[in-house]
Amino acid sequence: MKKQVYFILLTGILLGFATPQFAQENPRDKGLNAITKEALQGQLEFLASDWMEGRETGTKGEYMASDYIASMFKLYGLTPGGDLEQIRGGGRGQRPAAGAAPATRPDPKRTYFQNINFVEFSAGPTQEMSVITKNGNASRSVDFGYKTDFLVAPGAVGMEAEVPVVFVGYAFTDEKNGYDDLKGLDLKGKIVIRLSGTPGSKDINSKAFAKFKPVVPVVDPNAPRQMRPGGFGMEKWATDRGVLAILTYSPNADPTSQWVANFPFRYNTATYEGDVPQVTRSNKSMQIMDDKLSSQMIRLTVTQRVINEIISGTGLDFAAIEKQIGETCKPASRELTGKFIKIKTTVESRIVKGRNVIGVIEGKNPDEIVVIGGHYDHLGKYDGYVYNGADDNGSGTVGVMTIAKAMMATGIKPEKTMVFCAWTGEEKGLLGSKFFNDHPYKDKILCDLNFDMISRNDPGENQDNKIMMNYSNKFPISKDLTEKFNKEYNMGLEVKYTGSDKPGGGSDHASFANKDIPIYYFMAGMPPEYHKPNDQIELVVWDKFLKIVQLGYLSMYEIVQTWK
C-alpha cells in the first residue's frame, strides 16, 4: 500500500513539473513544428499537377488553382480579405405574401478573391512602319515590310503616329557614379533607340566595365531574373517618361531567322515533330483594364537595314559610340535631328477576368499590416504540354499557405495583421500585385515578404544550400533576422544578400518597392527547366525548400510580434 501511495505521489510531482513546461512552450516553435516536408509536398503535388492546366491567368486552370488556395486558407482558419460577394436577387415577379414583412437582403460577406479585369491583346492584321528623313522642305519616306524588316509588340489599343527618334544610349542611370543616359532628354511621345546591355558590358577591359560592374548582356541561367536583359522592371524608365515605343539595338542579332516563311518545311525536335511550328507560349499580352491608357508602349524589333536607314546622315556609329562610352564613362545620348518613324498598328483584344487570393489573420492592431505573397499563375498548356510550374511558382505559393498554417498553429493573435496573398498575372507583368497595391487591403502596409522559385538549384555542383535574398536597405531587420535564425536553427544555408534602395526586377516584390514599401524576397535558384514543361515536382529539392519556408516564417513571426 505504501508503495502504491509513493507511486501516486511521485507521478503527481512529475506531472506537476511536466504540465507547466508544456504550457510555456514557445508559440513561435509551435508554429515552426507545423512546417513539415509533408505539408509542403501535399500542397505542391496538387497545385503543380496536370489538373491545374498550367495555371495561366484567365484560364480554367487559374480558377481551379485559386479555388484550391482559398479552400486551404479557409481550412487553416484565415478570414477572407477579397471583394464583397455579389448578392443575387430572387426570381422575377416574386412578391411577399399579403401582410408579410418586406424581404431583406443579407449583408454581403467578404470573399477570398480580389477580382481583376484584364485587357488581353495581340497584334492585329495591319502593321506598318516607315522611316522618314526631313531636311528643310524635303522629305523622304522609306516603307518597310512587316516580318520582313520589322516586328511590333503593340500596346493594348491600335495606334497611328509619326514621331521623332531619340538615341538614349543604354538608358542606364547610376547616380552614385554620376552617369545618366537620360539626363536632359524629352522622351514623351517619342520613339527611342537603346543599345542592349549597359556601359562596358561588351568589353570587360573597358573603364566603364570596371566602374559600373555591369551585368553582361548574355542570358545566363545563373543570373536572377531581375538581372536578365529585358526582364520586368528594366523599362520602367520608359513608361515613367511617356515613351511611345522602344527599339533595342543588338549589333549581332538577326531577327529574320524567326520570320522565314518557307523553312523548315518540317519541324523536328526531341519533343515535337510536325508541319507547323510548335506553340509553346501565348502570343497575347495583358494589361489591367483602367479608365485611362497607361503604359501604352510599343516595342519594335527591326533588321540592320532599318537601323541603317534611321541613322543615315546623323553621324551616329553605334560601334564607335559603345567604344567611346566604354573609355570615357560619359553618355552620348541625343535626338536624331530630322529623323522620324511613322507607325500604324492595329490590335485584337478582349476582356479577361483573373483574381488574387487573399486571406487574413487579424492582429491586435488591425491597421498595421504585413503582406506575405507569391504568384500562383504560370504559363498554361499548349500543344499538349502542361507547364506545371512546380518551382515557378507553385513552390512560393505553397510557402505562403504554409506560413499561414504555421501562424495559426501558434495559437496566439499576432500583434500586427497578416495578409496572405496569392497573386495572379505575374507572368503577364506583375499585374496582380500591382492591382493590389493600387487597391490596398489597408492604407498602412509595413512590409512585404515575397516567395518566388524557392525549391530548386542553380546549375552546377554543391548548390543545395545556396539561396538568394533581396531586401530593401531601409529594412535591414529582414537580413538580420534571416542571419540569426539560419544560425540559431543550424540550417547551414549560404545566403547571398542583395540590398537595394528600391529593389526591382521580375517578381511581385517590385510592385511594393515601387510604392516605397520595404520588402524582402527569397529565391532558391534559376534552374535550366525555368519556363519549360519539365518544371515538375520530381525535381524539387525538398530540404532547401523546407528551410526557406521556415526562415520566412521565423523572420516574419518576429517582425509582426516585435518590430516597431
Q: Which residues does 264 contact at the CB level (< 8 Å), separation at least 6?
A: none
Sequence-ordered strand ranges (E) for 452-511: 466-472, 494-500
CA dist 507 and 511 (Å) reads 8
Model confidence at 156, pLDDT cuts 50, 70, 90, reads confident
Print the domain residue range for 208: 121-348
423, 413 in Cβ contact below 8 A? no
pLDDT tens digits for range 232-251: 344 778 988 999 999 999 98
If one counts every other C-beta atom within 10 angstroms of the C-beta of residue 163, the result is 17
* Residue with cell string 536572377: 224
pLDDT at 96 over 70: no
pLDDT tens digits for range 100-155: 656 566 678 999 999 999 999 999 999 999 999 999 999 999 999 999 999 998 88
Confidence (pLDDT) at 276: 83
In a domain, 93, yes or no: no
CA dihedral 510, 515, 520, 522 (to 10 degrees): -20
pTM: 0.83
Q: Which residues are registered as beta bridge partners of 370?
A: 418, 447
Confidence (pLDDT) at 319: 92
Q: Which residues are registered as beta bridge partners of 468?
A: 496, 523
Query: Mapped to the 3 state alphabet, what secondary structure does 286-313 carry?
Result: EEECCCCCCCCCEEEEECHHHHHHHHCC
CA dist 376 and 428 (Å) reads 12
CATH (domain of 159) = 3.50.30.30
If one counts the domains in the chain, the total is: 1
In a domain, 221, yes or no: yes
- pLDDT > 90: percent of the chain: 73
Name the phi and psi angles at 532, rounded to 5: -125, 160
pLDDT tens digits for range 171-199: 999 888 899 999 999 999 999 999 998 99
In the chain, DSSP finds a helix count (H) and a strand count (E) of 13, 22
pLDDT tens digits for range 409-468: 999 999 999 999 999 999 999 999 999 999 987 778 999 999 999 999 999 999 999 999
519, 503 in Cβ contact below 8 A? yes
In a domain, 164, yes or no: yes
In a domain, 183, yes or no: yes
pLDDT at 223 over 70: no
Grid cell listed for 28: 513561435
Helix or strand or coil: residue 376?
coil
In a domain, 98, yes or no: no
In a domain, 31, yes or no: no
360, 408 in Cβ contact below 8 A? no
In a domain, 5, yes or no: no
In a domain, 520, yes or no: no
CA atoms within 13 A on the CB side of 292: 2
